[in-house]
Amino acid sequence: MEYFLQQLINGLTLGSIYGLIAIGYTMVYGIIGMINFAHGDIFMIGAFIALITFLVLMSIGLTFIPLALFIVLIVSMFITAAYGWTVERLAYRPLRESFRLAPLITAIGMSIFLQNYVMHAQGARVKPLQPVITGGYTIMEKDGFVVQISNIQLLIIVVTIVLMAVFSWLIAKTPLGRAQRACEQDRVMAALCGVNVDRTISLTFVIGAALAAVAGLMFLLYYGVIDFYIGFIAGIKAFTAAVLGGIGSLPGAMLGGLIIGLIETFWSAYFTIEYKDVAAFSMLAIVLIFLPSGLLGKPEVEKV
């Protein structure tokens, strides 16, 4: 039971990171019906910006960790959001009315470009960071096995819950959220009703990129090591989470992220770690066989 509880905590932490990335996928798909395959690399860029900013702050003598992390968070969200806005302007807006495969191919090309851009700018070797947030709490102890939740795990889970609540409120109650929901239903009619469709879509990319930056910072603090390839792996897992939960659904993206994180963690703990990805994708296949729209997704209604 103790071992199970420890793996549950680890799985929720990993799933929270996947869920934050998956929200970016599901927001873009919900509005323009396209998959932003460069989103995982935006997450990777957010992690690198966080690392560089933190090292710069340390080099100038800012050693008060809470203030340093707050500055790192703001800077990484702002710069990463600018990358997300640029991707939308270059890879999506010119091809929005083209055939559906064109933006998809462009997004894959943008993903490859961002990977190689970071590899040449920062090098191919992994970039380490010494533990910044240490300590934790003991939940229970039995027969020498200690169940703990570290401060960084607690931070990741709390930040994820808070961001999920904030963005659910944003989508449901704010003018931007109403504009996003209008564009999701019918972009042409939304434009006729006075919604600035281009601005709404750009802001959606910006918000998704900012969330990816938060996930990048959490990933950096949790694992303490990053490289230019983490965006591809995490992006595929987050996209899987978005599809599993029901792409287009904000709660579904978070639920899918938690499920993928839990499957990976428990499979690695109780079976062989080499097949944890097989287990995650097998679960996706099984769910889609019985629920083609995902766990919380709505069936797509064809307008005639």
Task: Provide DSSP, 181-211.
Answer: HHHHH-HHHHHHTT--HHHHHHHHHHHHHHH
In a domain, 216, yes or no: yes
- Rounded Cα distance between 137 and 213, Å, is 27
Handedness of CA 7, 8, 12, 15 (dihedral sign): positive
In a domain, 28, yes or no: yes
pLDDT score of 299:
66
pLDDT score of 303:
54
In a domain, 299, yes or no: no
In a domain, 108, yes or no: yes
Domain that holds residue 238: 2-290
pLDDT score of 77:
94
In a domain, 300, yes or no: no
Token digits for 153?
Answer: 């795990």
pLDDT score of 68:
93
pLDDT score of 274:
86
Q: How many domains does the chain contain in total? A: 1
pLDDT score of 300:
62
Token digits for 184?
Answer: 């999701």
What CATH number is given to the structural domain containing 55? 1.10.3470
DSSP string, 60-123: TT---HHHHHHHHHHHHHHHHHHHHHHHIIIIIGGGTTS-THHHHHHHHHHHHHHHHHHHHHH-
In a domain, 301, yes or no: no
Neighbours of 220 (CB within 10 A): 25
pLDDT score of 59:
92
In a domain, 297, yes or no: no
pLDDT score of 188:
86
- Rounded Cα distance between 75 and 214, Å, is 11
In a domain, 113, yes or no: yes
> Left if phi > 0, otherwise alpha if psi is -120 to 50, otherwise beta: which for 195?
beta
Residues of the chain with pLDDT under 70: 299-304
- Rounded Cα distance between 262 and 265, Å, is 5
pLDDT score of 302:
54
Token digits for 226?
Answer: 């990053």
Residues 6+ apart with CB under 8 A from 63: none
pTM of the model: 0.92
